[in-house]
A and B are shown apart, each in its own frame.
Chain A
Amino acid sequence: MGRVAIQGVTKRFGDVTAVDHLTLEVADQEFLVLLGPSGCGKSTALRMIAGLDEPTEGVIEIGARVVNDVEAKDRDVAMVFQSYALYPHMSVRRNIEFPLRSRRVDRDERQQLVEEAAGMLGLDTLLDRKPAQLSGGQRQRVALARAIVRRPQVFLMDEPLSNLDAKLRVQTRAELVELHRRVTTTVIYVTHDQVEAMTMGDRIAILNDGLLQQVGPPQDVYERPTNLFVARFIGNPPMNTVTGKVVRADGDRHAVAVPGGEIAVKPEIGKALDRLALAEVVAGIRPEHLELGADGPIEATVSVVESLGHERHVFCRLTDGQPVIVRQQAAEAAPAEQTPARLTFDDANLHLFDPTTERRVEA
Chain B
Amino acid sequence: MTPTTTPPTTAPVAEVPARRRRFSRRVREASLGYALVLPSLLVFGTFIFYPFFKNFYLGLYRNPPFPNLPRKWVGFEQYSDILTSSDFYNSVKVTVLFALYTVPIGIALGLFLAVLAHQRLRGIAIYRTIFSSSIATSVAVASVIFGTLMNPRVGLLPWLGLDPQPPILQNPTWALVAVSVTTVWQNLGLSFILMSSGLQSIPDDLLEAAEVDGAGPWSRFRSVTLPLLSPTIFFAVVVGTIFAFQSFGQIDLLTEGGPLDRTNVLTYAIFTELRERNDPGAAAVLAIALFGITLLLTVIQMRVLERRVFYAR
Complex Cα distance, B228 from A224, in Å, reads: 50
* Residue tally, chain B, CB below 8 Å to A: 20
B residues in contact with A99, CB < 8 Å:
213-214
A residues in contact with B224, CB < 8 Å:
87
* Residue tally, chain A, CB below 8 Å to B: 25
Q: Given A73-B216, A98-B223, A102-B219, do A81 and B312 touch, yes or no (CB 8 Å)?
A: no
Q: Given A89-B228, A98-B223, do A72 and B211 touch, yes or no (CB 8 Å)?
A: yes
User: Is B212 interfacial (CB-CB < 8 Å)?
Assistant: yes
B211 engages A73 (CB within 8 Å): yes
Residues 204-245 of chain B, each 1 if its beta carbon lies under 8 Å from chain A, else 0: 011011111111100100011001100000000000000000
A residues in contact with B216, CB < 8 Å:
73, 102
Q: Given A88-B312, A98-B223, A132-B312, do A81 and B211 touch, yes or no (CB 8 Å)?
A: no
Say what secondary structure dominates the interface of chain B.
helix
A residues in contact with B22, CB < 8 Å:
none
B residues in contact with A81, CB < 8 Å:
205, 208-209
B205 engages A98 (CB within 8 Å): no
A85 engages B209 (CB within 8 Å): yes
Complex Cα distance, B223 from A89, in Å, reads: 9
Complex Cα distance, B210 from A313, in Å, reads: 47
Complex Cα distance, B288 from A50, in Å, reads: 60
User: Is A145 interfacial (CB-CB < 8 Å)?
Assistant: no
Most chain B CB atoms below 10 A, which of A51, A83, A87: A87
Q: Given A87-B206, A88-B310, do A98 and B215 touch, yes or no (CB 8 Å)?
A: yes
26 contacts between A and B (CB under 8 A): A51-B211, A51-B212, A52-B208, A71-B211, A72-B208, A72-B211, A73-B211, A73-B213, A73-B215, A74-B214, A75-B212, A78-B212, A79-B208, A79-B209, A81-B208, A87-B206, A87-B209, A87-B224, A88-B228, A88-B310, A89-B227, A89-B310, A98-B210, A98-B223, A99-B213, A132-B313
B binding-site residues for A, Cβ under 8 Å: 203, 205-206, 208-216, 219, 223-224, 227-228, 310, 312-313
A binding-site residues for B, Cβ under 8 Å: 50-52, 71-75, 77-79, 81, 83, 85, 87-89, 98-99, 102-103, 132, 146, 150, 156
Known: A73-B215, A81-B205, A102-B216. 12 other contacts (CB 8 A): A50-B208, A51-B211, A72-B212, A75-B212, A85-B206, A87-B223, A89-B227, A98-B210, A98-B215, A102-B219, A132-B312, A146-B213
